[in-house]
């Protein structure tokens, strides 16, 4: 197996068909980003890279993200990233502190491990928020209920996740007792596939990563490869190779998620339980708020649809709508500004000042 295959190249190249790599360029995968420095794993080594001039002028979403495959020009000891190869998906969220910006967090992700702790952290609606955003990004989810050592019976928690109607695999584990860790490694995480850890602070993401990595692996990930070309790095990384050949991304950004929706007009299919009920509403454009013959409201009243699931649906729909409105308003203002700037330029030309 080549070094690149160990970082998921084979799986990636099967998932993306239109990859073209000029002969004089090297391929690498982004394993860490620190400020303006990009750390890539190439066939030869791990190296520190800068963005080439062309990439510098692109918008931030087009800059390389953790998990991206890129082409590099290697000069002496420095790599310059020339292009970002096509992504088969990307995990994004609303940029914290903004209303209309999408922030890309990771690219080429096969599944997200959504971690919750079975302590006070367990919050089914927070979980729903992550699952909605993952569905919007087309990233499959695996729910990991950690700290199972703290409860006598895990079944009610598993049931609560399954009642969301999302058909996601649920695994209970404990990094303290080792429960569930083998099943996670052997049955859920596939070699060559890339996973990302998400969940709020303190749920045990770092503990899970450490439990999955054996010590030898941790040691090799910080060893530099002195005889190879390029500036080598001993940085703490964000993309790790697991002993079973899976790849796991753990970066500090993966805690809170503002939803963006999928950018399509109907986001209803991001809510499978509501979507199924809505098929029986009297009106096809039913908003499930106060309409006559609404099957969603009927299910809410007879108790088959939990209040919390309905409330969360309304809240997340509203957030997505807000995001869409703000994005289109921003586009409209940019367009208006572009028009004014063009008019001013033409005016200057005409009157030569
Ligand atoms: N009881 C119990 N505690 C755990 C378990 N896993 C982790 N913890 C504890 O939970 C706390 C937080 O664990 P971390 O791994 O740092 O959590 P994190 O999600 O990486 O937190 P951030 O880095 O803040 O995002 C630590 O005190 C761990 O010892 C577990 O399986 N059972
Ligand atoms: Zn309805």
Q: Predicted confidence band at 96 (pLDDT cuts at 50, 70, 90)?
A: confident
**What local confidence, expressed as pLDDT, does residue 229 receive?**
38
**What local confidence, expressed as pLDDT, does residue 59 receive?**
81
How many angstroms separate the CA atoms of 195 and 167, rounded?
18
Asked if residue 71 has pLDDT above 70, the reply is yes
Residue 255 CA to ligand 2 center (angstroms) comes to 33
Residues of the chain with CATH 3.40.50.300: 90-249
Find how far residue 87's CA is from the centre of its chain.
Answer: 12
**What local confidence, expressed as pLDDT, does residue 228 receive?**
38
Q: Is the CB of 150 under 6 A from ligand 1?
A: yes
Give the helix/strand (H/E) hosting 106. strand 102-107
**Cβ atoms 111, 140 nearer than 8 A:** yes
Asked if residue 214 has pLDDT above 80, the reply is no
Residues of the chain with CATH 1.10.40.50: 268-351
**Cβ atoms 124, 104 nearer than 8 A:** no
Which residue out of 112, 115, 202 has the highest number of ligand 1 atoms within 8 Å of its CB and is therefore the one to mutate?
202
Taking alpha carbons only, the member of 76, 77, 81 closest to residue 50 is 81
Sheet of 247-249: strand order equals 170-172, 141-146, 111-117, 194-198, 247-249, 239-241
**Cβ atoms 97, 125 nearer than 8 A:** no
Q: ipTM surpassing 0.95, yes or no?
A: yes
**What local confidence, expressed as pLDDT, does residue 109 receive?**
96
Q: Predicted confidence band at 282 (pLDDT cuts at 50, 70, 90)?
A: very high
- Tell me what percent of the chain is helix, strand and coil, each rounded to the nearest 5: 35, 20, 45
Residues in binding site: 146-149, 199-207, 281, 286, 288, 294
| Number of Cβ atoms within 10 Å of the Cβ of 33 | 19
* Distance spanning both ends of the chain, measured CA to CA: 65
Q: Where are the alpha helices (DSSP H) in the chain?
A: 3-6, 9-15, 53-56, 124-136, 155-162, 181-183, 205-212, 215-220, 272-278, 295-301, 307-351
Q: Is the CB of 5 under 6 A from ligand 1?
A: no
Which residue out of 177, 198, 204, 254 has the highest number of ligand 1 atoms within 8 Å of its CB and is therefore the one to mutate?
204
Q: What are the tokens at 155?
A: 């079944």
Q: Is the CB of 175 under 6 A from ligand 1?
A: yes
Query: If DSSP codes are grouped into helix, strand and coil, which group holds residue 134?
Result: helix
Per-residue CA distances from 178 to 47, 148, 181, 185, 317 (Å): 35, 10, 6, 12, 39
Q: What are 197's strand-pairing partners? A: 113
One DSSP character per residue, 289-329 reads: SS-TT-HHHHHHHTTSS-HHHHHHHHHHHHHHHHHHHHHHH
Q: Is the CB of 83 under 6 A from ligand 1?
A: no
Residue 117 CA to ligand 1 center (angstroms) comes to 8
Percent of the chain having pLDDT more than 70?
85
Supply the residue whose CA is at minimum distance from atom 3 of ligand 1. Answer: 147
CATH topology of domain 268-351: Ribonucleotide Reductase Protein R1; domain 1 (1.10.40)
CATH topology of domain 3-84: OB fold (Dihydrolipoamide Acetyltransferase, E2P) (2.40.50)
232-278 pLDDT tens trace: 444 457 999 999 899 999 987 777 777 776 665 456 678 888 999 99
Q: What are the tokens at 111?
A: 């599944």
**What local confidence, expressed as pLDDT, does residue 234 receive?**
40
Residues of the chain with CATH 2.40.50.140: 3-84
**What local confidence, expressed as pLDDT, does residue 300 receive?**
94
Q: Is the CB of 116 under 6 A from ligand 1?
A: no
Residue 289 CA to ligand 2 center (angstroms) comes to 7
How many angstroms separate the CA atoms of 279 and 230, rounded?
58
Mean pLDDT of the chain: 85
The architecture that CATH gives domain 90-249 is: 3-Layer(aba) Sandwich (3.40)
Q: Is the CB of 71 under 6 A from ligand 1?
A: no
Q: Is the CB of 262 under 6 A from ligand 1?
A: no
């Amino acid at each position: 197996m080549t070094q690149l295959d160990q970082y998921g190249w084979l799986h990636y190249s099967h998932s993306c068909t239109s990859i073209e790599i000029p002969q004089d360029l090297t391929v690498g995968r982004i394993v860490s980003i620190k400020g303006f420095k990009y750390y890539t794993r190439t066939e030869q080594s791990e190296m520190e890279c800068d963005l080439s001039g062309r990439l510098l002028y692109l918008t931030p979403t087009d800059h390389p993200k953790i998990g991206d495959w890129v082409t590099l020009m290697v000069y002496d000891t420095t790599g310059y990233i020339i292009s970002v190869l096509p992504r088969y998906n990307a995990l994004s969220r609303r940029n914290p502190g903004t209303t209309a910006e999408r922030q890309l967090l990771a690219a080429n992700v096969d599944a997200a491990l959504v971690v919750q702790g079975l302590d006070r952290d367990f919050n089914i609606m927070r979980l729903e928020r992550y699952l909605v955003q993952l569905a919007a990004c087309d990233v499959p989810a695996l729910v990991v209920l950690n700290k199972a050592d703290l409860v006598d019976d895990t079944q009610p928690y598993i049931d609560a996740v399954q009642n969301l109607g999302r058909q996601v695999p649920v695994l209970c584990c404990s990094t303290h007792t080792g429960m569930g860790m083998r099943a996670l490694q052997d049955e859920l995480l596939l070699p060559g596939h890339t996973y990302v850890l998400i969940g709020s602070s303190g749920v045990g993401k770092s503990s899970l990563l450490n439990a999955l990595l054996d010590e030898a692996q941790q040691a090799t990930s910080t060893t530099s490869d002195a005889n190879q070309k390029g500036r080598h790095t001993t940085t703490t990384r964000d993309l790790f190779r697991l002993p079973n050949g899976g790849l796991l991304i753990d970066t500090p950004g993966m805690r809170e998620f503002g939803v963006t929706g999928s950018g399509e007009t109907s986001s209803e299919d991001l809510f499978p339980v509501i979507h199924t009920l809505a098929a029986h509403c009297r009106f096809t454009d039913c908003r499930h708020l106060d309409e006559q013959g609404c099957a969603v409201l009927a299910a809410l009243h007879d108790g088959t649809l939990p209040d919390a699931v309905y409330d969360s649906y309304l809240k997340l729909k509203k957030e997505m709508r807000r995001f869409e409105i703000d994005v289109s308003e921003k586009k409209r203002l940019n367009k208006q500004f572009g028009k004014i700037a063009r008019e001013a330029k033409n005016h200057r030309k005409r009157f030569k000042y």
